[in-house]
Each structure stands twice: as C-alpha cells, then as structure tokens.
C-alpha cells in the first residue's frame, strides 16, 4: 500500500545493492543519488520535489544500482511494486513492451557511460583486494558473534549478516551475495532458503575463513620483493601435485618426494590434463618446490604438502572473486 515516508538528513532512502520493493515520488526536501567508490561517494545527481526515483527496478527487479541519500529532512510517497504490478498487468501488451524496452535501453546506456568514465587501463573489478578482506571479515565477525556450530559447520542467520553488511559496514548486499556464491562454488559454504524469505548460511570451514583474512592481509602489506604470488595456471599445477603427493609418505622433515616423470605419465588419467616435467619450473624458481633431483629412475622434486594445502584454497578464493566483474 502506498504511503508517505519521512527521511532525515544524511539518512538513506535506499542503498546501492539493496533488493527493490518500491519506487518513490519526492514530496518535499532534497536527495542526492550517489555511487560508492572505494571509501567515498560520488554524487551522480540531486533531485527534489516531484521527481521519481527507484522506478527502473520495477521492470527487471535488479538490485538498486545507486544509493539515494537525503540532503535535508525530506518526505517521499512510496509506491510499492506489488500494487503497481497489479495495475500494470491491465496495460496493452504493446505499451508494456515499449516501457520495458525504454528501461532496458536506459540500463544499457548507464553501463556504457560507466565504461567511458573509467580511466585508461582501469580494471572493472568488483572485488579489489581490500574489499575481499573486508567482506570475509564481516562474514567471520557475524559467524563468531552470532553463529552456532552444527555437524556441517558454522550456521548464521542471513538477516543478521545482511544488517551488519548494510547498516554497520555500509557495504552493498549484492557484493556479499556474489562473494557467498563464489564460496559456494568452492564448496566452502552453502545458503539455504527457509520460509518467509529467511536464509540460513553454513560455513563449512570457519577456521579457514579466519586464516585466509590473516594470510591475505599480511601478504598485501608485504613489500613487492617479499611477496610470493601464485598465478592461476600455477595453482592448477599445485592442485595436481597435491593429488599425487597425498598418496605418498612424508619424510621426517615433512617433505614428500614426487616423481615428475610418473606425474607426467599419469596426470591425464587422474586429472584430465597433463602436467609436464617442465611445468613445475616456475614453482621451483619461486621456491614453492625444491630443485629437480636427477636420479636413475627419473626426475624428482620435494614438496611440503601441509604448506600447499594451507595456501592453495586461499588462492582459489582470490581467483574465483577476480573473475566476477559486476
């Protein structure tokens, strides 16, 4: 049902990434349409009485593309989508098609403008490094404070995570959702939809999430010369080597001796891709593996399984999030 809503100065009508439920007509006051960028906000427009905001999501139900913030004490008239959709259903089909097409063109034009505004060479990256540590830290905090351990892992109320994400840390919910989607693909958590729109989140390896933030934060603040970076193609090789190393015994120093010749022969059968003897050269240069050991039976290398098992999931998280651009 429609009705008026008062928004105090410096408070938000809605935030970027929020799920949409209504459009609004400004009755009095003044608002700024803003976009978040790093730790600041960019004002896209200022709107006053008579203007409408939040109408684009009426057609496609996409998350809010920007935040709307009151510049002074203001009042709006809320027009819930549910009631509007009931009226919209009675419109002629040609009229519906025109309105949807105009809305889609506006969305596309906005996206092209974003691309044109980017500085040359600027990456369209949704998850820069410090955003990753911040979002996973929010997940860790809520899990530590409000989570309950279950046989599967640490369970969290989805509404509590949402409130912390939006209200306390002022991060858009669609970023947290995309982060959780990536973690689900890596089988690190799951999200269950319960009745009445409620969600239950389960983190299978909560300790790994804490370890990741500590490790990645430390890695980010190291000098470039002190960092060891694993490329995505190298990560695939490491995961293949771990497959074989886990089947073999360790020596008294924690090293496992791998036959690179046997891995080259068996990798296609076991992994679906070939790991050649020379594919490990870059890992040796980075001191992730030992130098090659030449023996009569072939070429070997030494690997510390525990260390690689610790860091390879961290790099999997990083590269999964790097693939998400919007």
Question: Over the stretch 286-299, which tens digit does the pLDDT of each residue have?
Answer: 999 999 999 999 99
Does pLDDT of 116 surpass 60? no
pLDDT at 172: 86
Question: Shortest CA distance to 284 belongs to which of 264, 258, 310, 266?
Answer: 258
Residues of the chain within CATH 1.10.10.10 domain(s) are: 129-221, 230-318
CATH 2.60.120.10 location in the chain: 3-117
Nearest in space to 5 (alpha carbons), one of 18, 22, 15 = 22
Q: Which CATH number among 3.60.15.10, 3.40.630.30, 2.60.40.4070, 2.60.120.10 corresponds to the domain 3-117?
A: 2.60.120.10
Q: For the segment 167-216, what is each residue's pLDDT rounded down to a tens digit?
A: 899 888 888 999 999 999 999 999 998 877 788 999 999 999 999 999 99
CATH topology for 230-318 is Arc Repressor Mutant, subunit A (1.10.10)
- The pTM of this model reads 0.62
Per the CB < 8 A criterion, the answer to whether 171 and 134 are in contact is yes
pLDDT tens digits along 37-54:
655 677 888 899 998 888
Average pLDDT, the chain: 87
Q: Where are the beta strands (DSSP E) in the chain?
A: 3-7, 12-14, 22-28, 31-37, 40-47, 52-53, 67-70, 74-80, 148-149, 154-157, 189-193, 199-203, 256-259, 293-295, 298-303
Segment holding 326, helix H or strand E: none
Query: Given this structure, which CATH class describes domain 129-221?
Result: mainly alpha
At 43 the pLDDT is: 81
Give the residue, 206 or 2, on which the prediction is more confident. Answer: 206
């Amino acid at each position: 049902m429609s009705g008026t809503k008062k928004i105090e100065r410096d408070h938000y009508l809605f935030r970027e990434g929020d799920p949409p439920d209504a459009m609004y007509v400004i009755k009095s006051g003044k608002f700024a349409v803003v976009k978040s960028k790093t730790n600041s906000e960019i004002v896209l427009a200022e709107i006053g009485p008579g203007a409408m905001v939040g109408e684009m999501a009426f057609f496609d139900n996409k998350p809010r593309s920007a935040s709307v913030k009151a510049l002074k004490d203001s009042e709006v008239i809320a027009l819930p989508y549910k009631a509007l959709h009931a009226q919209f259903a009675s419109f002629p089909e040609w009229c519906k098609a025109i309105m949807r097409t105009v809305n889609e063109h506006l969305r596309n034009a906005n996206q092209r403008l974003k691309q044109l505004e980017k500085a040359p060479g600027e990456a369209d990256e949704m998850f820069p490094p410090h955003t990753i540590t911040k979002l996973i830290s929010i997940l860790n905090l809520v899990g530590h404070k409000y989570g309950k351990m279950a046989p599967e892992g640490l369970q969290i109320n989805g509404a509590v995570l949402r409130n912390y994400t939006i209200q306390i840390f002022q991060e858009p919910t669609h970023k947290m959702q995309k982060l959780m989607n990536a973690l689900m693909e890596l089988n690190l958590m799951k999200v269950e939809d319960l009745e009445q729109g409620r969600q239950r989140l389960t983190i299978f390896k909560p300790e790994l999430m804490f370890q990741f933030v500590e490790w990645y934060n430390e890695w980010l603040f190291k000098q470039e010369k002190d960092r060891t970076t694993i490329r995505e193609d190298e990560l695939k090789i490491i995961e293949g080597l771990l497959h074989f190393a886990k089947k073999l015994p360790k020596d008294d120093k924690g090293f496992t001796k791998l036959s690179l010749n046997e891995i080259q022969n068996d990798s296609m059968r076991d992994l679906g891709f070939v790991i050649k003897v020379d594919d490990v050269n870059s890992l040796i240069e980075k001191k992730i593996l030992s130098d090659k050991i030449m023996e009569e039976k072939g070429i070997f290398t030494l690997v510390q399984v525990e260390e690689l098992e610790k860091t390879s999931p961290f790099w999997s998280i990083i590269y999964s999030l790097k693939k998400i651009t919007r």
